[in-house]
A and B are shown apart, each in its own frame.
Chain A
């Protein structure tokens, strides 16, 4: 999947991936996609939950040998 920015959270545990993703997403424009690399399994449940709370869109989670690639599209202000 194509992303506008990538955030490396390999080796980090909750709440760091979510906290850093929230911070990173603020730097992006609405509609842009953030790719989060993470290997804490909690991210599979946490990122969908975080997107649900914040109104940002979860595009998908890819599972690979090094961990997970999570894609989040930043919502427009009115969609949140």
Chain B
């Protein structure tokens, strides 16, 4: 049976997202089947960057305005400094020809990595399917994650 890797992507920081996709690409390159479960803040990574995100109710509308998400808006967990820190890190990555997050996501997708969005987090935050990039394969819950994780030797929570 094909070896499996499951990644729970809970965080939305750019640096953590980079690490998650780096591992996913490495595993896929070694012929492993990779599933990435995006949950809670991690959903920000797979939100589309363009357009408005619609939600119901004042609290959810406020939350989604203050926490818009989308790969272009991810911030470093350290030295974001309201923008220039993250800008600089992206620049440093470019200097050494390291792909930007969008390119890593595209590579992962091309290699068959599965993107799964957590429907519970979507429900709590009031985010619909239309808020996400089309590369998301499915919308599911913890049982789907566990069924995959049980068969995987590598399980990470990022």
A residues in contact (CB < 8 Å) with B: 11-16, 18-19, 21-23, 50, 53-54, 80
| A19:B31 contact, CB within 8 angstroms | no
| B30:A22 contact, CB within 8 angstroms | yes
Nearest B residue to A10 via CB reads B97
B27-72 at interface with A (beta carbon < 8 Å): 28-32
Between-chain CB contacts (< 8 Å), 13 pairs: A11-B96, A13-B98, A14-B22, A14-B26, A15-B22, A15-B26, A16-B97, A18-B30, A19-B111, A21-B29, A22-B29, A50-B30, A53-B32
The residues of A that contact B29 with a CB separation of less than 8 Å are 15, 18-19, 21-23, 50
Most buried by A among B29, B32, B97, B107: B29
The residues of B that contact A11 with a CB separation of less than 8 Å are 96-97
> CA of A1 to CA of B99 in the docked complex: distance in angstroms?
31
Other than the known A15-B22, A19-B25, A54-B30, what 17 A-B pairs have Cβ atoms closer than 8 Å? A13-B96, A13-B97, A13-B98, A14-B22, A14-B26, A16-B99, A18-B30, A19-B28, A19-B29, A19-B107, A21-B29, A22-B29, A22-B31, A50-B29, A50-B30, A53-B32, A54-B31
B11-30 at interface with A (beta carbon < 8 Å): 22, 25-26, 28-30
> CA of A12 to CA of B98 in the docked complex: distance in angstroms?
7
Nearest B residue to A52 via CB reads B30
Residue count of chain B within 8 Å CB distance of chain A: 15
> CA of A53 to CA of B29 in the docked complex: distance in angstroms?
10
The residues of B that contact A53 with a CB separation of less than 8 Å are 3, 30-32
The residues of B that contact A23 with a CB separation of less than 8 Å are 29
B90-149 at interface with A (beta carbon < 8 Å): 96-99, 107, 111
| B97:A12 contact, CB within 8 angstroms | yes
- Return B28 CB to nearest CB of chain A, in Å: 8
| A19:B96 contact, CB within 8 angstroms | no
> CA of A80 to CA of B98 in the docked complex: distance in angstroms?
30
The residues of A that contact B111 with a CB separation of less than 8 Å are 19
- Return A45 CB to nearest CB of chain B, in Å: 13
The residues of B that contact A16 with a CB separation of less than 8 Å are 97-99
Nearest A residue to B25 via CB reads A15
